[in-house]
Amino acid sequence: MDFLQDGHNLSYLWIASGVILMVAELFVPGTFVFFLGLSASIIGSISYFYEIGFWTQAILWAALSGILIWLGGSFLRKFFPSSSEKATLIPEEGPGRIVLVSKDILVERKGGRVVFQGTEWDAISKSKRIQAGKRARILERENLTFVVEPIELPEI
């Protein structure tokens, strides 16, 4: 633990950890890891010039990380907005088609599945739960998820 008693060694540790986290951003999805690394490098740089206790550094790092994630995320969303596609489907692609429910479809929650053109697709319902084995009608598609409604077919 003598290593951590020297202020400069602790600064080097913060900076090295920050660089490792920023490089790890290339392998971990999301941008928050970069901001964690950036804040660690900033704290390391500050602690190199000013003597600050370890726990104070840790608290400053956590606070700075939160601020950078919040500000950086807001800034990046302006340049890289998320896209949600509501496709207008031609009749052959689904609307009005009746499909078999292969896994229970929940209201406004993903996880349900339908069989369409021999393939299982994610599905959600806007009105009520649809049990597996029942039939549903496709209303629209949101990205790769079908929005369906339950239908009652007469028994033969």
Give 32-47 pLDDT, tens digit per residue.
899 999 999 999 999 9
**Ramachandran sector of residue 118 (left: φ over 0; alpha: ψ -120 to 50; beta: rest):** left
* Whole-number pLDDT of residue 12: 92
The answer, yes or no, to whether residue 66 has pLDDT greater than 60, is yes
- At residue 122, the 3 state secondary structure works out as strand
Q: Which run of H or of E encompasses 68?
A: helix 54-79
What residues contact 121, with CB distance under 8 A and at least 6 apart? 113, 114, 115, 144, 145, 146
**96 vs 94: CA distance, rounded Å:** 6
Residue 120 tokens, joined: 């299982």
Pick 128 or 86 by higher pLDDT. Answer: 128
* Whole-number pLDDT of residue 129: 86
* Whole-number pLDDT of residue 127: 82
Strands (E), 4-52: none
The answer to whether the predicted template modeling score (pTM) of the entire model surpasses 0.75 is: no
Whether 140 and 89 have beta carbons less than 8 Å apart is answered as yes
- At residue 130, the 3 state secondary structure works out as strand
